[in-house]
């Protein structure tokens, strides 16, 4: 049903945009992520079969849209959408915390397999401090807030693991180590929940800890920031020691500081990471404690308190020491008109800004289902204009910058499914040298070989074969990618 709708919309848009899809340049390397959340209850009441079929449909549509990374929520409130020996099964999966899915399955393990066979990365998304959401009424006996009530404080109907308590930091890091060691994930992702978002009339109950152990810090705000800084540094160390190729990413609130509070702040007037959530994001970037950053720029261009254009330029200027991706709100982008061209929404203007920002290397969509549902034609525009061709992940030379060797023994074999191009993985020792994915390029007869142009990529795959039936005479080039998407030299095969 969606395919027919897409075809109609595509035809209309090509006429309306004057074949816009032929003129939008694309980067060969770009992080194209999408958040799949569970805390909104979208999977509640679903059977195992229904949830799997829903996710398969979403992944297939996102793949067509050009998405190359999924950020999947697996721990919304010190619980688990995976097999955990430390925390209870999530009620956002089964309806009741502590109850295993039936028929049994492990959503994270399943998602790793599904994403990797589509050539996508998967990043496990956790909420480190939140121990209970407002809507959760009952906690399992093995939940951390039941086992260690002294570790949490209550705030606006939530339970929060206290960042001031070292045992809380150690506990979260043990949970993360369990995930990283137990699953073949590509990244570990946390979002914007550090100290709780301020609510009028609510007070954080941590003055006792501050008086008892303030480390000589004379201001409770500075002390809270110190607590979070120590945690971020410890978490990064935990991940890199367990599996050094697993990327650690953070998605903070979109404003670091307002200029009225700091000379380096942005010309904005909203809630602040530094002052209100006690998250010194720039310190983490500048000290290399995180591997990528995704500020949530969910506002529109022209927003009075938090103008999108002001903020993307601010982050581009101040966050250059680690890859910078932009968190995009699909619904708000498509529901608000372009200031300079009221006949269209703000998607073209925002993606134009992305291209103009030297340090912006990708986008993460909030959220996946909105793209799948093609709200405001966003999905159509991705797959036919902005993300028409595949993209490799941005390089992270601070983790590894050595490419694997070339693939070997390329040959074409006639099978029951037609002609298939096969190759053998290159030899490699250790995670830095081993190939985990391959890029297949196709060049028509007489066309020059150009591996820098993503329009020539026909597949990014974890398999060592590619079906070339019904594609005519061509030269194929296959390269190998390692864990950090370093790309080998190409091996050619003329068909």
- pTM (2 decimals)? 0.94
What residue has token string 């994270």? 108
**pLDDT above 80 (res 141):** yes
Q: Which tens digits make up the pLDDT trace of 39-81?
A: 999 999 899 999 999 999 999 999 999 999 999 999 999 999 9
Burial of 211 (0-12, 13-18, 19+ CB in 10 A): exposed
Q: Which helix (H) or strand (E) holds 110?
A: helix 107-117
* Cα–Cα dist 38/91, whole Å: 10
* Cα–Cα dist 487/28, whole Å: 12
- Is residue 17 very low, low, confident or very high in pLDDT (cuts 50, 70, 90)? very low
Q: Which tens digits make up the pLDDT trace of 296-313?
A: 999 999 999 999 999 999
* Encoded tokens for 136: 């959760």
Q: Give me the count of residues in the chain.
A: 495
* Cα–Cα dist 460/163, whole Å: 41
Q: What is the pLDDT of residue 472?
A: 78
Distances in Å between the Cα of 57 and the Cα atoms of 73, 435, 473 are 17, 28, 33
């Amino acid at each position: 049903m969606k395919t027919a709708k897409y075809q109609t919309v595509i035809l209309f848009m090509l006429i309306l945009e004057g074949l816009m899809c032929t003129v939008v340049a694309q980067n060969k390397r770009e992080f194209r992520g999408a958040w799949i959340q569970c805390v909104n209850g979208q999977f509640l009441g679903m059977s195992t079969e229904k949830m799997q079929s829903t996710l398969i449909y979403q992944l297939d549509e996102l793949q067509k849209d050009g998405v190359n990374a999924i950020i999947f929520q697996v721990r919304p409130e010190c619980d688990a959408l995976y097999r955990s020996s430390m925390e209870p099964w999530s009620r956002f999966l089964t309806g009741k915390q502590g109850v295993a899915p039936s028929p049994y399955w492990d959503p994270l393990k399943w998602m790793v397999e599904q994403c990797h066979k589509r050539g996508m990365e998967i990043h496990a998304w956790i909420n480190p401090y939140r121990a209970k959401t407002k809507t959760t009424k009952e906690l399992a006996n093995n939940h951390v807030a039941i086992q260690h009530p002294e570790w949490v404080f209550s705030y606006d109907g939530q339970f929060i693991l206290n960042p001031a308590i070292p045992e809380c930091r150690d506990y979260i890091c043990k949970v993360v180590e369990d995930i990283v060691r137990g699953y073949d994930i590509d990244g570990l992702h946390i979002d914007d929940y550090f100290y709780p978002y301020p609510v009028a009339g609510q007070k954080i109950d941590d003055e006792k800890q501050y008086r008892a152990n303030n480390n000589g810090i004379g201001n409770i705000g500075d002390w809270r920031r110190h607590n979070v800084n120590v945690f971020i540094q410890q978490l990064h160390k935990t991940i890199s020691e367990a599996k050094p190729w697993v990327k650690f990413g953070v998605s903070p609130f979109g404003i670091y500081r307002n200029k009225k509070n700091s000379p380096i702040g942005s010309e904005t007037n909203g809630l602040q990471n530094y002052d209100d959530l006690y998250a010194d994001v720039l310190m983490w970037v500048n000290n290399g404690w995180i591997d990528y950053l995704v500020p949530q720029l969910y506002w529109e261009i022209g927003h009075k308190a938090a103008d999108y254009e002001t903020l993307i330029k601010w982050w581009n200027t101040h966050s250059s020491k680690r890859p910078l991706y932009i968190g995009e709100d699909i619904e708000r982008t498509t529901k608000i008109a372009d200031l300079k061209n009221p006949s269209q929404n703000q998607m073209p203007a925002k993606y134009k800004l992305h291209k103009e920002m030297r340090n912006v290397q990708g986008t993460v969509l909030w959220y996946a289902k909105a793209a799948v549902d093609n709200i405001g034609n966003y999905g159509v525009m991705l797959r036919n204009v902005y993300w028409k061709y595949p993209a490799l992940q941005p390089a992270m030379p601070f983790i590894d910058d050595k490419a694997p060797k070339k693939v070997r023994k390329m040959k074409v074999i006639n099978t029951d499914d037609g002609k298939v191009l096969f190759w053998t993985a290159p030899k490699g020792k250790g995670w830095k040298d081993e190939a985990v994915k391959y890029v297949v390029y196709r060049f028509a007869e007489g066309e020059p070989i150009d591996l820098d142009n993503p329009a020539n990529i026909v597949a990014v795959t974890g398999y060592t074969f590619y079906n070339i039936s019904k594609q005519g005479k061509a030269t194929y080039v296959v390269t190998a990618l390692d864990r950090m998407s370093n790309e080998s030299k190409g091996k050619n095969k003329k068909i």
